[in-house]
């Protein structure tokens, strides 16, 4: 089916039509959109009055991205592969192709801030040969695709791979990279650091998805996943992990309809200690005898397990749970949580974690924050425990304290 949409001329998207069960549903239910028309105002700045335009910043999300149709997993693939799509939105028509996103309100194209990462940007960064784009840009756009797809709904969890296979196949062919169970050989080290963003709805247990994908792949879980943000460029990352061996094509499957096999990894293994809870939420956790408080925010310190509290407590009670650092940016260390089942030879992934060790604080909060040490020669501040762990990881890695293990 992927080739059908990829080679089509024009696709019509009834984004807000009624359910298919309704008899003879309408294609378009246009609502008045006068109240979301751009409005002109005069604002006083540093100099004379300046005329500005105020508009609804969520208009593209409302008309297209958050529509009921685009919440379906199969539609995600169809929309990405189709060269031209005409969306019948909530209030107006929307146009989307590999060169332009537009609304009736903006027929010549959307203002930049309405669509932070357009289909055009994602398409160009993932569909061209890998020597023509940076790994950082490809990784950013690929992660956007994965995050958005994981938030979509599927009637059958067994469709997880096949509903995404068309995207993977066409990128693999055009980019010249090797697709491995939801990621790519060129970026597999960084992409191991995905995490589950929420536990809303049903949690699919490991025994239901074991045959679908290995634990190190985001395809092994149902529900929305995300990636820790990289605060610096690709060349600035410090790596504490080497992927020595990936599954062969006979295990991975060149058709991208299957995902099997294990990774051979060389890295550090730091023990996970006591985890303190507040209800169903983690309050504090320990890595290599260092105590960290769970925080909110994209670049803060937090551990994110793939399962709920009862299962996490059961695994950690066996004292075979470790933090494996993958890489560090200028402010955070990112790694995965692994566990070795009793009687098993290989480990499996059960979560991920991000440890913040440095930041530039907001001026109105002041540099002397609890647990943070100001740097005398810059505006940076360093977290006392976080920077100790970072230095420990660096010393252990340089000192050859790493181990080799297999991850199922």
Q: Give the helix/strand (H/E) hosting 59.
A: helix 59-60
Q: Give the helix/strand (H/E) hosting 238.
A: strand 238-239
Q: Is 56 exposed, middle or buried (0-12, 13-18, 19+ CB in 10 A)?
A: middle
- State mean pLDDT over 215-232: 87
Buried/exposed 333-370: b ≥16 CB within 10 Å, e otherwise: bbbbbbbbeeeeebbbbbbbbbbbbbbeeeeeeeeeee
SS3 80: helix
CB 294 within 8 Å of CB 303: yes
Task: State the pLDDT confidence band at 363, using cuts at 50, 70 and 90.
Answer: low
pTM beyond 0.85: yes
Mean pLDDT of the residues in the chain: 85
Q: Is 40 exposed, middle or buried (0-12, 13-18, 19+ CB in 10 A)?
A: exposed
Sketch the domain layout of the chain as residue ranges: 2-42+51-186, 187-408
DSSP assignment letter at 305: E
Alpha helices per DSSP H over 202-349 = 206-209, 249-252, 309-316
Please provide the DSSP assignment of 110-151 as one string.
Answer: --GGG-SS-HHHHHHHHSS-GGGS-HHHHHHHHHHHHHHHHT
DSSP assignment letter at 203: P
Digit-coded pLDDT (tens) for 89-126: 888 899 999 889 999 989 999 887 777 667 777 877 88
Cα 122 from chain centre: 14
Does the pLDDT of residue 253 top 50, yes or no?
A: no
């Amino acid at each position: 089916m992927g080739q059908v949409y990829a080679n089509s001329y024009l696709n019509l998207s009834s984004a807000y039509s009624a359910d298919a069960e309704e008899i003879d549903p309408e294609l378009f239910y246009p609502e008045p959109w006068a109240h979301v028309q751009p409005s002109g105002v005069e604002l006083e700045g540093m100099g004379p009055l300046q005329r500005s335009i105020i508009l609804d910043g969520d208009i593209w999300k409302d008309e297209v991205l958050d529509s009921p149709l685009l919440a379906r997993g199969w539609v995600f693939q169809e929309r990405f592969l189709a060269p031209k799509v005409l969306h019948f939105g909530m209030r107006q028509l929307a146009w989307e192709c590999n060169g332009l996103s537009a609304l009736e309100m903006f027929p010549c194209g959307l203002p930049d801030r309405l669509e932070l990462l357009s289909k055009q940007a994602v398409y160009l960064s993932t569909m061209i040969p890998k020597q023509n784009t940076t790994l950082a840009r490809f990784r950013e756009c690929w992660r956007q695709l994965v995050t958005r797809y994981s938030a979509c709904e599927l009637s059958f969890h067994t469709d997880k791979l096949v509903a995404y296979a068309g995207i993977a196949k066409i990128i693999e062919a055009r980019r010249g990279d090797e697709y491995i169970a939801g990621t790519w050989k060129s970026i597999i080290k960084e992409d191991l650091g995905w995490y589950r963003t929420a536990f809303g709805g049903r949690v699919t247990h490991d025994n239901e998805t074991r045959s679908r994908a290995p634990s190190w792949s985001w395809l092994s879980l149902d529900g929305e996943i995300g990636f820790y943000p990289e605060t610096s460029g690709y060349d600035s990352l410090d790596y504490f992990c080497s992927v020595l061996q990936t599954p062969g094509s006979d295990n991975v499957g060149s058709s991208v309809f299957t995902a099997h096999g294990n990774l051979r990894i060389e890295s550090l293994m730091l023990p996970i200690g006591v985890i303190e809870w507040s209800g169903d939420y983690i309050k504090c956790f320990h890595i290599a005898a260092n105590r960290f408080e769970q925080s909110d925010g994209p670049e803060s310190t937090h551990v994110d397990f793939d399962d709920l509290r009862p299962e996490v407590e059961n695994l950690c009670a066996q004292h075979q749970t470790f933090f494996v650092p993958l890489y560090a940016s200028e402010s955070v260390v990112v790694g995965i949580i692994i566990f070795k089942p009793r009687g098993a030879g290989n480990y499996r992934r059960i979560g991920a974690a991000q440890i913040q060790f440095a930041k530039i604080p907001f001026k109105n909060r002041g540099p002397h924050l609890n647990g943070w040490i100001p740097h005398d020669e810059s505006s940076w501040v360093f977290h006392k425990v976080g920077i100790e762990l970072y230095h420990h990881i660096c010393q252990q890695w340089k000192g050859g304290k790493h181990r080799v293990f297999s991850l199922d």
